[in-house]
Amino acid sequence: MRNPLKLQSKEKPKKTPIQEGYNFAYLDEGTKRMIRRTILKAIAIPGHQVPFGSREMPLPLGWGTGGIQITASLIGPDDVLKVIDQGADDTTNAVSIKKLFIKTTGVSITEKTEQATLIQTRHRIPETPLREGQVIIFQVPIPEPLRFLEPRETETRKIHALADYGLMYVKLYEDIATHGRIATAFMYPVLVHHRYIASPSPIPRFDNPKMDRMPALQLFGAGREKRIYAIPPYTTVKSLDFEDHPFEVERWDQECALCGSKESYLDEIIKDDLGGRLFVCSDTDYCQKRRERAKKGVSSEVVDIEALRMRKGDETR
Amino acid sequence: MEIRLQAVDIHKTFILHLQGGKRLNVLKRVDLTVEAGECVALTGPSGIGKSTFLKILYGNYKPDSGRVLIYHLGQWINTVEAEPYQILDIRRSTIGYVSQFLRVIPRVPAIEIVMEPLQRLGLSVQECRVRAEELLRRLNLSESLWTVSPTTFSGGEQQRVNLARSLIYPYSILLLDEPTASLDEKNRAIVVQLIQEAKRRGTAVVGVFHDRTVREALATRYFNLSMEESG
Amino acid sequence: MTHLKEPLLKVMGVTKYFGDRVGCRDISFELWPGEVLGIVGESGSGKTTLLNTLSFHLEPTRGTILYWMEEEGPVNVGQLPESKKRHLMRTEWGMVRQNPREGLRMRVSAGANIGERLMAIGVRHYGRIRAEVQRWLERVEIDTDRANDLPETFSGGMLQRLQIARNLVSRPRLVFMDEPTGGLDVSVQARLLDLLRALVAELHLSLIIVTHDLGVVRLLSHRLLVMRQGEIVESGLTDQVLDDPHHPYTQLLVSSVIQA
Residue A312's pLDDT is 60
Q: Which residues have CB under 8 Å from B106's CB, separation 6+?
A: B149, B151, C190
Q: Is the pLDDT of residue C162 over 50?
A: yes
Burial class (CB in 10 A: 0-12, 13-18, 19+), A294: exposed
pLDDT in tens, A140-171: 999 999 998 888 999 999 999 999 899 899 98
Q: What band does A6 get if pLDDT is binned at 50, 70 and 90? A: low
pTM reported for the whole predicted model: 0.84
Average pLDDT, rounded, for chain A: 88
Q: Would you call A83 exposed, middle or buried from its count of C-beta atoms within 10 A (0-12, 13-18, 19+)?
A: buried
ipTM higher than the 0.85 cut: yes
Residue C1 pLDDT: 42
Question: pLDDT-derived band of residue A317, with 50, 70 and 90 as boundaries?
Answer: very low
Query: To the nearest whole percent, how much of chain A has pLDDT over 90?
Result: 66
Residues of B in contact with C242 (CB under 8 A): none
Q: Mean pLDDT throughout C68-97? A: 92
Model confidence at B227, pLDDT cuts 50, 70, 90, reads low
Where b means 16+ CB within 10 Å and e means fewer, C202-227 reads eeebbbbbbbbbbbbbbbbbbbbbbb
Alpha carbon C205 to its chain centroid, in Å, reads: 10
Q: Which residue in B61, B92, B120 is closest to C243 by CB distance?
A: B61
Domains detected in chain B: 3-94+171-227 (3.40.50.300)
State the Cα–Cα distance between residues C253 and C256, nearest whole angstrom: 5
pLDDT-based confidence at A10, cuts 50/70/90?
very low
Contacts of C148 in chain A (CB under 8 A): 177-178
Distance from CA of C75 to the nearest CA of B (A): 23
In angstroms, the separation between the Cα of residue C92 and the nearest Cα of chain B is 22
- Residue A301: its pLDDT value, please? 46
pLDDT digits (tens, 9 = 90+) for C12-21: 999 999 999 9
Question: Is residue C9 a contact partner of residue C65, using CB atoms and an 8 Å limit?
Answer: yes
The catalytic residues of A are 47, 256, 259, 281, 287
Out of C86, C121, C126, the one facing A173 most closely (by C-beta) is: C126
For chain C, give the mean pLDDT: 92
The predicted structure's pLDDT at residue A314? 55
Q: Which of A14-23, A217-226, C52-61, C120-129 has the lowest average pLDDT?
A: A14-23
Answer yes or no: do B59 and C219 touch at CB < 8 A: no
Amino acid at B5: L
Average pLDDT of the segment spanning C94-118: 94
Residue B230: its pLDDT value, please? 41
Q: Confidence band (pLDDT; 50, 70, 90) for B99?
A: confident
Residue B105 per-residue DSSP state: P
Establish how many alpha carbons lie within 13 A of residue A198's alpha carbon, considering only the half-sphere containing its beta carbon. Answer: 34
